[in-house]
A and B are shown apart, each in its own frame.
Chain A
């Protein structure tokens, strides 16, 4: 088996993708916790930290493009590198949604802690599990797992419906909560987009292994 140098480059890039994935996951968890605790300073730090995630994404992209130019990969190798370019874009956008949640927290008014966030923590748990599982499927190049993970997106969508109904009911019952509940709807939307991005990652796993570009789960939102 030749191409040791290429294989080493590809492994390094895959490790970097995992690192970026961990950074995005931490951003989501921190953003939700800072919202629950009403910790605006923490949210500001999360917003600043997003620059590190963007920088990491560009570093990986630069390296992947250099490997394409210098190694001129074909077939599975080429698909693996093309997929890395898409996956890092999705991970960076996932982190942007986490940053969005942190930004919402900076706009929310003070209220008794911990905040009652309804179905949002459950939604976030599912989305973070999807992110972890999709990165695992990516590293193991597990097509079956990738397809399975996308089904979890339906559950995230259902939880978003519940958040929506809950918030609307509260707004109708007490118009003074309209602003607060609007922020929660935005938060739920960010989490729903994170889950969607995870299905994109799973689609890239399937593409890397099979060469087929199929949409695995069409979001209702």
Chain B
């Protein structure tokens, strides 16, 4: 009985059951439907938004619709404060990662409500036609979630007991892929920050079960700043997690997805014996917010890839 393990990305999310249902329904409602449940494909979700955010998003429609009129609909929910570095290394990391998102300083962003877009945008967010108050929240969510994970920050939302973020999320991922109910073929579908977590676990964490396929959508794994934090296990020549990904790794990106930054291709950075084996697919998600998970799930190439990996 095939199985798909999903893992979500940056920013706050609806409750786990709702999010999984929204993603499954998105696949089932497509023009060329891929109703996983009807096809006997079991699913699970690695959910970690609760470690970063006090309570789940209640606006479910924002996560399943195509409207881009609320923070939740553009992955800007909950990330209203930038992360605080604890040392120079973290500060440098955040500065570099921020520079991938925008060339504008905080002061410039604050100075005018809608900063002018330079003729040649220097950062990914400049290309996004959303108001800057939303873009700033998106950036904060991205920086904070990536930073807390990669630096294993001890953190809890207000009122909670702090936990080591990386250790906790790794455990959830490994528990999910090693679960007794999971059978083969088994495919991991990861979005956004979830692609970093999935890669980290599949490449760098002992005890993680192997899977048959990996799909990354809207991934920031192409960014140098992130790759640097995945060393020494990651190398450009042998970055592919072959020991735990038996078959294909398919990567989907939209050129205007700011989370992928200016380097959305992965085949050149995660090679196997110095050969490019990842299948990178460029897609057009449409609208202002190209990072939306459900937009990626609606792409025919996504469903074709998943269908092929599951043997359907």
A pairs with B: no
B: residues with CB less than 8 A from A are none
